[in-house]
Amino acid sequence: MSKARASTYVISITPFTADGRFDEELVRQHLQRMGEGGVGVYVGGSGSGEGYTLDPDETRALLHIAAKTLKGVVPVRGMGTEPRYSRQMIEYARLVEEAGLDGMQIYSLDPGHGTAPNPAETERYLRDVLEEVRIPVVISTHQSVGYKQPVALMESLASEYSNLIGINCSHQDVGYLAELVDALGDRLEVHTGGPHQGLLTLALGGTGFLTSEANLAPKLCQSVIDAFLAGDTAAMMASFGKVVRLSALLYGAGGIRMTKAVLNEYGLSGGIPRKPQLAPSDAEVRRVVARVEELGVPEIEGLSRLVTA
């Protein structure tokens, strides 16, 4: 079992206005709700956070808002986007450190154009970043780039860099997840990307799971961890079943596009996705909201749907 306390982290959305502007107040409102839900928070991620659409000034503003809103309330970290080269990740680290967040993720290197770095290049990249960064860091190993961070390398880096505190593993390979936990779970946090392997990660001795679903249902997602820590298996299983069904529902209907739309239906700070992503149709939103209500999410989260004329 990891020395780290079991936890879940939301990969926060970045709310934008109807004309696509970054709106500081919408962002602040959403992050405040995440803090009230008790989940840890990553901001500016390349998926749920639409990090690739943010310009440097918006990235800086997001990090500062997150620190001011959540520091001391729940753990809050910068996630960022997959870099093309080491300096990009190092520059991002400078922004996170300047803002005063609790830590950051080091994303897997993505040279682009379908290219994957060889093992020596992967090691060089990670060491280049770790040599420059002083704040706590979590290394990502993510299926989106088409390769896995070598377990032996993760062990070596964990022994050499005291500010390396965790691994975020987003792969479908259960054997690889077990290898990571067995090698590093007594020293580092090990979270799995997405909720689907959440209970498996805890069973293996890992720390927990990352979630986009908590953007809509932070209390529900946190209740899985609370029940686990309390040893209440029945409550844990019931909550986890709802999280997985919610995940399938939202991702089957457009992922973060639908999540934002459903948040708006309850008068929350969802905003809209930035183009070229488009908001879902009203009919599809109504269908998903009906299912969200069947799952009991509004009751758990204390939500009331807006009534429109």
259/34 Cα distance (integer angstroms): 14
Model pTM above 0.75: yes
Looking at residue 163, its pLDDT comes to 97
Identify the pLDDT of residue 292: 98
- C-alpha neighbours within 13 Å on the C-beta side of residue 166: 31
Delimit the domains of the chain by residue range.
7-240
Weakly modelled stretches of the chain, pLDDT under 50: 1-2, 309
Q: Quick one: pLDDT at residue 4?
A: 79
Cβ-proximal residues to 10 (8 Å cutoff; 6+ apart), any chain: 34, 37, 39, 40, 41, 42, 210, 211, 212, 214, 215, 218, 221
DSSP state string for 64-130: HHHHHHHTTTS-EEE-----SSHHHHHHHHHHHHHHT-SEEEEPPP--BTTB---HHHHHHHHHHHH
Domain 7-240 in CATH 3.20.20.70? The answer is yes
Q: What 8-state DSSP symbol labels residue 22?
A: B
CB distance 228 to 239 below 8 Å: no
CA dist 178 and 199 (Å) reads 13
Sequence length of the chain is 309
pLDDT tens digits, 18-42: 999 999 999 999 999 999 999 999 9
